[in-house]
């Protein structure tokens, strides 16, 4: 079971570090299943790696480090249960054994991959608040620290840590099961997982200043989650979401100038888009569109693909985009989809047609700044400057985001020229 | 005639208690429970876990809406209760969503708590 002892200590430490990056989430996911408790499993994971740091430099790295870590973690946890009143509720479930059983492999396929899915579905369980789902996902699946998550969501570490503790308590006390949902529930539960991943992405995507790099990391984390989910659970909407994120993220560097001001799609430098990532996104759009029933992420990705395919803004195929919005409107009939469809119609048929399409939306979107910004833009293009001015001012009064405000102020100033 | 006695308190009072005060209260509840069961008056009853563990189920337009947290709509009034046995929260949610008034109001799902005495 042991490799030759020729490696030096530092080399082994570096290898253990690599193994941690690769395996820690898998080991954690399996330990949660074996132990039935998040907190206990996390402590066990840490203990297993401390044990590895102590033993592997002498004994060498085991052939199957993952299995070794799970066995060691499980043994440490059982010891913990015996010694600690806190885990008394788990006492009956484990017959205490005195020796860790490194021969027993708890990491057989396909269980180990299912464990990762179990972890994803449990962290994104709809009985948890959406804030808790986000925090748990980033903490348990992405292994971000509570400090990092708190900074990314512009909240305090204390609040965030409490949110995570409360969520774990609810999982334990209300008995949220650690399972991959059955066929009947899967579509709805998957939808809530995809929703969480897209929220993580958007939280990063809407970060606009260069100094909060941690927020932009959220985009990479979300994309990583998308890849992981696609590998574990191939599905059209999973590919669709991943494609959408890749295509949007490919434009990220061109969305702001050095001062952090917004640059609209029309004025972005398309040569600077990440074209390798766009190719990957386009492939996944195709995969999503061929996957049977076409869902709303696949359609949003197909729309993003149309923008990515246009070499210049003037080359955009607005006819095709309107058709895709027609389909999206059926799959996901929300006022924001209607608004975006109206904006696409304005590009195809002119601003008057866009304004007509938007008439029915006034009531539902009165508080949404982008509704007024879109209206303002159409009036501006029609030369109806006083209507444009009023709509820009209304948009400005409804947003608190610095870059958005600066953009709207600039539009107002330009109207006066 | 049968009556249901619903117990309300500010959870903060409990959270501020010492371990001993909490155990004493539980002991008192246990012995009260034994008394009223012994006299044949009490047919059943349980302590509940804190509202932190609650989930609320509603059916609107035929679709299940699930939210974290307790029922909090002051304009709705308590109308009944079911004591259900379920394997886990997912099964409890399925059962709760079948309760007909889930279409009209809200069903709060709260796990039972065993008295620590």
Q: Chain-wide mean pLDDT for chain A?
A: 89
Q: Is the pLDDT of residue A19 over 90?
A: yes
In chain A the first and final C-alpha atoms are separated, in Å, by 78
- For residue B38, the distance in angstroms to the closest alpha carbon of chain A comes to 29
Specify the pLDDT at position A92.
62
Chain centroid to CA A326: 26
| Euclidean distance between CA atoms A288 and A237, whole angstroms | 6
Specify the pLDDT at position A109.
59
* pLDDT tier at A210, thresholds 50, 70, 90: very low
Q: What is the mean pLDDT of residues A75-98?
A: 72
* pLDDT over 70, % of chain A: 89
* pLDDT tier at A101, thresholds 50, 70, 90: low
- Contact residues, chain A, for B52 at CB < 8 Å: 166, 169-170, 173
* Cis? peptide before A110, omega within 30° of 0: yes
- Contact residues, chain B, for A128 at CB < 8 Å: 68
Count CB neighbours of B85 within 10 A.
Answer: 8
Chain centroid to CA A78: 34
Task: Dump pLDDT digits (tens) for A304-341.
Answer: 999 999 999 999 999 999 999 999 999 999 999 999 99
Specify the pLDDT at position A253.
86
* pLDDT tier at A23, thresholds 50, 70, 90: very high
Specify the pLDDT at position A152.
82
| Euclidean distance between CA atoms A175 and B83, whole angstroms | 16
Structure-token pair, residue A388 = 């444009």
Give yes or no for a contact between B114 and B103, defined as CB atoms under 8 angstroms apart: no
Q: Which domains does chain A have, with CATH numbers?
A: 9-107 (no CATH), 334-417 (1.25.40.10)
Backbone angles phi, psi at B68, to 5 degrees: -75, 140
* pLDDT tier at A1, thresholds 50, 70, 90: very low
Task: Dump pLDDT digits (tens) for A157-186.
Answer: 999 999 999 999 999 999 999 999 998 899
- For residue B50, the distance in angstroms to the closest alpha carbon of chain A comes to 9
Residue among A165, A167, A301 at smallest CA distance from A244: A301
Q: Which of B53, B85, B111 to mutate to test the interface with A (most CBs of A within 10 A)?
A: B53
B93 at A interface, C-beta within 8 A: yes
Task: Dump pLDDT digits (tens) for A339-395.
Answer: 999 999 999 999 999 999 999 898 899 999 999 999 999 999 999 999 999 999 999
Specify the pLDDT at position A107.
66
Q: What is the mean pLDDT of residues A105-109?
A: 66
Chain A and chain B share a number of CB contacts under 8 A equal to 41
List residues bridging with B68 in a β-sheet. B55
B52·A126 Cβ contact <8 A: no
Q: Is the pLDDT of residue A99 over 60?
A: no
Task: Dump pLDDT digits (tens) for B28-45.
Answer: 999 999 999 999 999 999
Residue ranges in chain B modelled with pLDDT below 50: none
* pLDDT tier at A2, thresholds 50, 70, 90: very low
| Euclidean distance between CA atoms A263 and A269, whole angstroms | 9
Give yes or no for a contact between A23 and A29, defined as CB atoms under 8 angstroms apart: no
Count CB neighbours of A16 within 10 A.
Answer: 17
Dihedral sign of CA atoms A48, A50, A53, A55 in order: negative
Tell me which long-range contacts A92-95 makes (C-beta under 8 A, separation of at least 24).
A93/A36
The secondary structure of A117-167 as a DSSP string is HHHHHHHT-TTS-HHHHHHHIIIIIS---HHHHHHHTTS-HHHHHHHHHHH
Q: What is the mean pLDDT of residues A194-199?
A: 94
Q: Which of B15, B48, B68 to mutate to test the interface with A (most CBs of A within 10 A)?
A: B68
Residue burial A129-146, b: 16+ Cβ < 10 Å; e: rest: bebbbbbbbbbbbbebeb
B52·A166 Cβ contact <8 A: yes
Specify the pLDDT at position A394.
95
Q: What is the mean pLDDT of residues A13-26?
A: 92
């Amino acid at each position: 079971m042991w490799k030759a002892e020729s490696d030096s200590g530092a080399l082994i430490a570096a290898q253990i570090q690599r193994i941690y990056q690769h395996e820690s989430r898998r080991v954690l996911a399996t330990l949660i299943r074996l132990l039935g408790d998040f907190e206990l499993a996390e402590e066990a994971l840490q203990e297993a790696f401390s044990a590895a740091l102590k033993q592997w430099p002498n004994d060498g790295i085991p052939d199957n480090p993952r299995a070794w870590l799970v066995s060691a973690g499980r043994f440490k946890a059982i010891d913990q249960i015996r010694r600690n009143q806190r885990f008394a509720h788990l006492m009956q479930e484990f017959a205490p054994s005195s020796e860790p059983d490194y021969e027993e492999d708890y990491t057989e396929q396909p269980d180990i991959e299912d464990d990762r899915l179990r972890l994803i579905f449990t962290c994104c369980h709809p009985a948890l608040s959406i804030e808790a789902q986000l925090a748990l996902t980033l903490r348990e699946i992405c292994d971000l620290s509570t400090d990092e998550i708190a900074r990314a969501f512009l909240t305090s570490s204390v609040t965030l840590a409490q949110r995570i503790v409360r969520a774990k308590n609810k999982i334990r006390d209300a008995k949220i099961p650690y399972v991959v949902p059955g066929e009947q529930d899967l579509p709805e539960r998957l939808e809530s997982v995809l929703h969480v991943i897209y929220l993580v992405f958007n939280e990063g995507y809407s970060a606009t200043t260069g100094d909060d790099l941690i927020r932009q990391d959220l985009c990479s984390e979300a994309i990583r989650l998308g890849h992981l989910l696609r590998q574990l659970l191939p599905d059209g909407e999973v590919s669709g979401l991943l494609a959408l994120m890749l295509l949007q993220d490919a434009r990220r560097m061109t969305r702001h100038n050095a001062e952090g001001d917004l640059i609209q799609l029309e004025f972005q430098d398309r040569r600077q888009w990440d074209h390798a990532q766009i190719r990957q996104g386009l492939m996944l759009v195709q995969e999503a569109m061929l996957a049977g029933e076409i869902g709303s992420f696949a359609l949003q990705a197909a729309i993003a693909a149309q923008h990515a395919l246009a070499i210049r803004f003037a080359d955009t195929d607005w006819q095709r985009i309107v058709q895709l919005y027609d389909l999206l409107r059926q799959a996901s009939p929300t006022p924001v989809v209607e608004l975006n469809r109206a904006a696409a119609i304005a590009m195809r048929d002119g601003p008057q047609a866009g304004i007509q399409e938007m008439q029915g939306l006034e009531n539902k979107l009165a508080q949404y700044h982008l509704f007024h910004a879109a209206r303002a833009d159409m009036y501006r293009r029609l030369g109806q400057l006083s209507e444009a001015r009023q709509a820009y001012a209304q948009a400005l009064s409804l947003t608190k985001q610095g870059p958005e405000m600066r953009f709207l102020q600039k539009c107002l100033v330009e109207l006066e020229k | 005639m049968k009556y249901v006695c619903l117990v309300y308190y500010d959870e903060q009072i409990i959270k501020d208690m010492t371990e001993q005060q909490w155990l004493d209260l539980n002991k008192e509840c246990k012995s009260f429970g034994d008394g009223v069961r012994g006299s044949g008056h009490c047919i059943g009853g349980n302590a509940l876990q804190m509202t932190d563990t609650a989930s609320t189920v509603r059916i609107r337009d035929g679709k299940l809406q699930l939210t974290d947290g307790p029922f909090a709509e002051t304009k709705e009034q308590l109308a009944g209760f079911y004591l259900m046995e379920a394997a886990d929260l997912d099964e409890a949610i399925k059962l709760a969503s079948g309760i007909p008034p889930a279409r009209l109001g809200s069903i709060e799902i709260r796990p039972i708590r065993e008295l620590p005495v």
